[in-house]
Chains A and B, each alone.
Chain A
Amino acid sequence: MFSIHSTEQLLKAIALASAVLSVLVCLWYIVRRPHLNRVTKSMLLLGLGAFPLIVSLTGNIASFEYTLSRPFCGSCHVMGPYLRDAEDPKSNSLAAMHSRNHKFGETSCYTCHADYQMFGAITTKQNGMKHLFKYLTEYASTGPDGEGGPTIHLYKPFQSGACMQCHSATAKKWVETHGDSAEAIRSGEMNCIDCHNEVHPLALSRRPKLTKGGVQ
């Protein structure tokens, strides 16, 4: 049975209910073909204007919320290895450890890979459109994990700022641990993942003996 446990589910329920009401009004008009009097016009204004507007607003917000989730990122088959590792409770990769964090684990892909600056959400969504285009044009007919497709890489180098959203680069213990590198990391000369590089160990680019035509 359909149950509501979150705001996203509530918005989805409202959107679906509004869509059903809109379609019912439309079907009523098609079947009855009433004269265009005041009542008909008002009904159609609801069915063609108000209800679709509610569907659009609530549906967009609910969909946007869903696009932040890990299952959404993993819904393209080329992301399979990344998703499997992130969801593996025994894995010690950075992706898996962060995905186990109960604060943001369900949105771990977005939390680490979204641009964290102002308008970061917009630029991240623009990149998402680029992902989709590349998926359709370059990866659609590749193997189960994207074998045979081009190597997946980031559009720009990973910025340590994404890590520093949570990990303070000024905490005493961190400064002691990172010694001479601390200033270089803060200024961006060095990246966190230069040393902490066990991020996505199952990524195809990290697998041995991979050729353009597939796995040997």
Chain B
Amino acid sequence: MAKKMVLFSVIGTIVAMIFMASSILFPHPLLLVLAMSIGQGIAIFALALYLLAVALDLQSSGGVYIPAEESPAIEEPPPAEGTGPPAT
């Protein structure tokens, strides 16, 4: 559910950015009004949707931190020496 919401917000942001960028490149009155109203509205809605998705994600995981190793796409660097558990 959260991932779908994030996907929708990402797509919404792309649409909003296209609106806003086109109004900067081609500043016609109608395009400016559309960018300043619809474009910004979509961007705000997308951000709100993303924040809601993050909140839902945190709620479903009970606030537990999901380590990066579970992610197949992103690899985090190994921990620096001396930060691991103490040797027995």
The answer to whether B68 and A60 touch across the interface, beta carbons within 8 angstroms, is no
Instruction: Select A52's contact among B17, B54, B70, B72, beta carbons within 8 Å.
Output: B17
**Does residue A136 face the partner (Cβ distance < 8 Å to B)?**
yes
Complex-state Cα separation, A35 to B67, whole angstroms: 10
Q: Which residue of B lies closest to A50 (CB)?
A: B47
**Does residue B76 face the partner (Cβ distance < 8 Å to A)?**
yes
User: Known: A132-B29, A132-B30. Is A35-B13 also a contact (CB below 8 A)?
Assistant: no
The answer to whether B20 and A19 touch across the interface, beta carbons within 8 angstroms, is yes
Taking the closest CB of chain A, its distance from the CB of B11, in whole angstroms, is: 8
* Interface residue count on the A side (C-beta < 8 Å): 44
Complex-state Cα separation, A72 to B29, whole angstroms: 7
Instruction: Select A37's contact among B11, B14, B68, beta carbons within 8 Å.
Output: B68
Instruction: Select A36's contact among B3, B9, B14, B46, beta carbons within 8 Å.
Output: B3
Instruction: Select B14's contact among A23, A35, A49, A76, beta carbons within 8 Å.
Output: A23
A interface residues with partner B (beta carbon < 8 Å): 12, 15-16, 19-20, 22-23, 26-27, 29-30, 32-41, 44-45, 47-49, 52, 55-56, 59-60, 62-63, 66-67, 72, 75-76, 128-129, 131-132, 135-136
